[in-house]
Amino acid sequence: MVRRRHRPGLAGLAGVALVAPLLALVVRAFADEWRSPALLPQRFGLRGVRIALGADTGSAFANSAEVALLTVVAALVIAWPAARVLGERRLRHPAPVFLLLAMPLLVPSYAVGTGLTEWFIRLGLDGTTLGLVAAHLTVVLPYVTLVLLAGFGPRLTAIEEMGSVSGLPPLRRLRLVTIPAAAPTVAAAALLGFLVSWSDYGSSLAIGAGRPMLPVVLLPFVGSDPQVAATLAVVFLAPATAALVFTVRAGRRPL
Amino acid sequence: MLAPAVLVMLVLFGGAMAGAVRTSVTPLGGHAGAGAWSTLLHDSEFHDAVAFTLRTAVLSTGLAALLAVLVALAARRSGTVVRALLAAPVPVPHLLVATVAVLWLAPGGLAERILGGLPFDVVHDRAGAGVVLVYIYKEVPFLVVLLLSAMGQGYRERDEAAAAVGVSPAQRLRWVLWPTIRGPLVVGCIVVFAYVAGAFEVPLALGPSYPPTVAEYALQRSDADLISGPSVAAAALLVSAAASIVLAALAVRAAKDPQGG
Amino acid sequence: MSDHGLRCTEIAVSPGGGPPILRGLSLDVPAGTRTVLVGPSGAGKTTLLRAIAGLEPLDGGRVQLGGRRIDGLAPHRRKIAVVFQEPRLLAHLDVLDNIALPLRAAGMRKQERRRVAAAHLEEVGLAALARRRVQGLSGGEQQRIALARALTAAPQLLLLDEPLGALDPNRRGALRRLICTIQRDRGLTTVVVTHDRNEAAELGDHIALMLEGRIVQHDEPRGLFERPVSAAVARFFGTTNLLPDGDATLAIRPEHVVLADEGELRGRVIETTYAGDHVRVIVDCDGRSITAHVAPHETPRVGDEVGIVLPGERLWRVPPRVVDHEQR
């Protein structure tokens, strides 16, 4: 069969239209003066960077990154066994478990945060890393579970059987066979989980107790100071992009 | 094997919901009562917020679904580059898209400068058009990814088989494409709807100042009154959560019905 | 006799907690020999293989290998290597590291195990592929790599599950010969599963026919083709002519039936089918169909009356008791 030559059609145009607006953000971040109706900034500079650095950005970045990383690790460890059971269709009636695990997708994360605040204040957990990770975990776990279970199934069990009959005991089999074979799925789940936690606004606001988290710091600037907002947005986007690149590389090893 | 995940969900999610219910009926330092719920019932701002949220969510979900099906159809034979471009906005946070939208579409923004004036106003506009636009920008790629993945699994072969026995293109859309994408589309739409109905960073960034969305309303109450505010906020959020869950159940039921398609 | 080979005694298996597939199956494979398990789809061949390898738990019975009991051992302790129907190679490793996996399990150092793996790769004739990724290799190449990996484990027992199943017919011969050569050179105790009776004949020192979870006959290839113990065995191996003789049944293969002008039986030809190297002729003989394979240039025409000769030394009397047992 003749391979169809690629035409940059409607889909290609749509793709470009979706990406281009993001580039303006970088320009805006370094535009100290950009008054209407000029199409290019009158003066470039680092005013945005200076103000952004002053606005809790450093600690917000660190907090958000710490919480997101811990949340992803916890979510992967907790979701892995459940996703294997569900992905390999070992349950006769999986629907109730599915429903329970997917439920937080249907509920505003601010509601989850508000509800947990009730207990966390008593336990002294509001504003702590543990409290934030617990709240984010509630929101992130469904995404991670759903991505993992979509990638698990007969092919992974087949590879594991091969590992067993090749003489690998269970733990080494997990390290040498199962995890490498599942790497693309795990990477995709980790990326999605990281991004959901990284950009979560509702539960961070409710549980944070004033502790700076990046989305919470960014939002007020969107209306008041576009340059600072753009600077923070670039900072906000950077780890997301890094995580994406990392995942694409990890995902090069198909199952 | 299931125990850790189920336990975490029961404790954290169940605890969160129980906590929200408890908060809604016990104002800080006050006595238990349905005061917050009766406030909601009689507050015309809450009614407006429900109507506005519902309209925004329905419009965003419906338009995003429609566009996503068209884009997925157009891109079903595209290569990796186009697919990657189409999927690019999926990992971009909503708040970031809102920031970009303000940059481009606000009065005096880049779009106005390039075009010399916009015929409409979408930032902080009363109708909330900007909010819907941002959601469409974010959710169309999300749905396209779901649809393309569903269409990757033997759709083309089935479509060719149908064409080979004389089924017309329009009939194939109905008999081959629709059954292929219905499941993922419904699931995707449920997630999109629930997200739009419950999130507030986008409306906070570029929505109208009145009416608020339900989540914004909850936030405002929380900030405005430290004593009874959290109760009203929790009650409002529970209404939003319950509505999403009920609508999701109805959608799943409709999608399962073979005649419902 | 088979103290040092494989001995399965009365094993019962219900895969995945479902209905039982094997109930009280026994099988002996003497050390250093090759047995082919053959049978129709669903007979339980793969289940038996998986049970021997420890991938399905036993409901009952024993599995012994080299005189020691292995049914309580985890799969990785059984000293058994398996070549599955699909190659099951690891996409993140190159060809050599895939082959070296069992050595890595045994704790051998990287340089050493790659050297050993290279020797096995050469044995299966793919030395040039050592550093390639496994994606993009053909099905036949991947299956040879899987075979090399199994050999690297230096197993006491080699199990092959439809190893030729994924290959196109022209490539099967080479891999089949390779399997036979390797087995013979090493004196490796080997069980091969296939559903194809001709492949079974070419692969096996011995053939064990499985029907509905039981081994119904375990014999040399000729035995199954020419001396079936039951009508069901006869049918599976293509002995289509079953003639009642008192309370017993006489069986004769179509290629042994001779059509002649004279003969003790007479009948009318009702169908002829050209099959390349022979013609299948069906003769109606008093309401009973007899099939004969004849050379293409000797084919009678439909409607001809012919004599049928059934050479006495080719006639096989199927034991009656077993016939009753097998006929449903």
Question: Which tens digit of pLDDT belongs to each residue from C264-301?
Answer: 788 999 999 998 889 999 999 888 889 999 988 888 88
Phi, psi of A38 (to 5 degrees): -65, 140
What pLDDT is attached to residue B257?
Answer: 59
- Of A234 and C99, more confident: C99
Query: CATH number of the domain that B85 lies in?
Result: 1.10.3720.10
Establish if C136 touches chain A: CB-CB under 8 angstroms: no
CA separation for the pair B93, A240 (Å, rounded)? 9
Residues near A110 by Cβ (< 8 Å), separated by ≥ 6? A201, A202, A203, A205, A206, B198, B199, B200, B215, B218, B219, B237
Residue A39: HSE in the Cβ half-sphere, 13 Å Cα cutoff: 5
> Domain C6-226 classified CATH 3.30.70.270?
no
pLDDT at residue C1 in the model? 45
Q: Which residues in chain C have Cβ-Cβ distances shorter than 8 Å to A170?
A: 74
The yes-or-no verdict on residue A2 having pLDDT over 50 is: no
Q: Do A15 and B88 touch (CB under 8 A)?
A: yes
* Cβ–Cβ gap A85/B1 under 8 Å: yes
ipTM reported for the complex, 2 dp: 0.85
Q: What is the pLDDT of residue C325?
A: 45
Residue numbers in A near C149 (CB within 8 A): 166
Nearest CA to C152 out of C89, C104, C87 is that of C104
Considering CB atoms only, which of A10, A81, A230 is closest to B103?
Answer: A230
Interface probe, candidates C101, C134, C156, chain A, greatest A C-beta count within 10 A: C101
Task: Let me know: does B123 contact B102? Beta carbons within 8 Å.
Answer: yes
C323, pLDDT greater than 50: no
pLDDT tens for each residue of A70-110:
999 999 999 999 999 988 888 888 888 888 888 888 888 88
A180 chain-C contacts, CB cut-off 8 A: 90, 92-93
Per-residue model confidence (pLDDT) at position A114 = 87
DSSP state of C231: H
Q: Which residue of A has its CA nearest to C79?
A: A167
Chain C residue with Cα closest to A167: C76
- State how far residue A164 is from chain C, nearest Cα, in angstroms: 5
CA distance A214 to B30: 34
Question: Is there a contact between A137 and B2 if contact means CB atoms under 8 Å apart?
Answer: no
Q: Which of A168, A181, A253 sits opposite C76 (nearest CB)?
A: A168
Inter-chain contact C76–A173, Cβ cutoff 8 Å? yes
B99: Cβ contacts below 8 Å, ≥ 6 apart:
A25, A218, A222, A229, A230, A233, B205
Within 8 A of B2 by CB-CB distance, chain A residues are: 81-82, 85-86, 91, 97
- CA proximity to A203, closest of A118, A117, A128, A144: A117
pLDDT confidence tier of residue C102, bands split at 50, 70 and 90: very high
Integer-rounded Cα radius of gyration of chain B: 22
Q: What is the DSSP string of C284-321?
A: EETTEEEEEEE-GGGPPPTT-EEEEE--GGG-EEE-HH
Query: According to the model, what pLDDT value does residue A47 have?
Result: 82
The predicted model gives C12-18 an average pLDDT of 88
Residue C82 in contact with partner chain A when CB distance is under 8 A:
yes
Q: Is C55 on the interface with A (CB under 8 A)?
A: yes
Q: Domain spans of chain C? A: 6-226, 242-326
Task: With H, G, I as helix, E, B as strand and everything else as coil, classify residue A233.
Answer: helix
Which residues of chain B have a CB within 8 Å of the CB of A215? 93, 95, 201
Q: Does an H or E element contain C159, and which? A: strand C157-161
State which fold the C242-326 domain adopts: OB fold (Dihydrolipoamide Acetyltransferase, E2P) (2.40.50)
Listed residue (C202, C76, C92) closest to A165, CA to CA: C76
**B45: containing domain:** 3-260
CB-based contact (8 Å) between B104 and chain A?
yes
Distance (Å, whole) CA C243 – CA C291: 12
Helix axes A214-224, B94-105, angle to 10 degrees: 10
List the single residue in C with minimal CA-CA distance to A180.
Answer: C92
**B56 inside 8 A of chain A by CB:** no
Nearest to B91 by CA among A239, A227, A133: A239
Which residues does chain B have with pLDDT short of 70?
28-30, 257-261
Number of structural domains found in chain B: 1
Contact B137 A18 (CB under 8 A): yes
Residue C156: the pLDDT is 93
> What pLDDT is stored for residue C21 in this prediction?
93
Read off the pLDDT of residues A102-121 as tens digits, 9 standing for 90 and up.
888 888 888 888 889 888 88
Residue A254: its pLDDT value, please? Answer: 42
The rounded mean pLDDT for chain C is 89
- Flag whether pLDDT at A160 surpasses 90: yes
Per-residue pLDDT, A250: 64
Per-residue pLDDT at C178 exceeds 80? yes
Q: Which chains touch B (3 or more CB pairs under 8 A)?
A: A
- Tell me which of A222-226, B2-6, B115-119, C126-130 is least confident: B115-119
Using 50, 70 and 90 to split pLDDT, how confident is the model at A9?
low
Q: Distance, in angstroms, between A162 CA and closest chain B CA?
A: 22
HSE-CB of C303 using CA atoms within 13 angstroms = 0
Q: Which residue has the higher pLDDT, C195 or B92?
A: C195
When CB atoms are compared, the residue of B200, B219, B244 closest to A106 is B244
Give residue C285's pLDDT. Answer: 87
Q: What is the per-residue pLDDT across B176-227, written as a single tens digit (0 to 9) for each? A: 988 889 888 998 999 999 999 888 888 888 888 788 889 889 888 888 877 7
- Taking the C-alpha atoms of residue A156 and residue A171, their distance in angstroms, rounded to an integer, is 15
C66-97 tens-digit pLDDT:
999 999 999 999 999 999 999 999 988 999 99
Q: Taking every pair of C-alpha atoms in chain C, what is the biggest distance, in angstroms?
A: 75
Question: How many CB atoms are located within 10 Å of the residue C51 CB?
Answer: 25
- Closest-CA residue to C161 (of C128, C203, C98): C203
Most C CBs within 10 Å, among A166, A168, A178, to test the C interface: A166
Contact criterion met (CB < 8 Å) for C84 and A177: no
Show the tokens assigned to A195.
């991004």
Where residue C138 falls (left for φ over 0; alpha for ψ -120 to 50; beta otherwise) is beta
The span from the CA of C88 to the CA of C146, in Å, is 7
Q: Is A249 on the interface with C (CB under 8 A)?
A: no
Residue-level pLDDT at A224: 80
User: What mean pLDDT is predicted for residues A242-248?
Assistant: 72
Q: Does B200 touch chain A (CB under 8 A)?
A: yes
- How close, in Å, is residue A182 to chain C by CA atoms? 10
Physical contact, B and C (3 or more Cβ pairs within 8 A): no
Phi-psi region of C300 (alpha: psi -120 to 50; beta: other; left: phi over 0): beta
| Interval C219-228 mean pLDDT | 89
Chains contacting A (3+ CB pairs below 8 angstroms): B, C
Round to whole Å and give the CA distance between A234 and B92.
Answer: 11
Output the six-digit token pair for A169: 């005991």
Q: Domain A66-222+238-250: which topology?
A: MetI-like fold (1.10.3720)
- Chain B residues with beta carbon closer than 8 angstroms to that of A78: 4-5, 8
What are the boundaries of each domain within chain A?
A: 66-222+238-250
- Position C169 scores a pLDDT of 80
Minimal Cα distance from A254: which residue of C?
C91
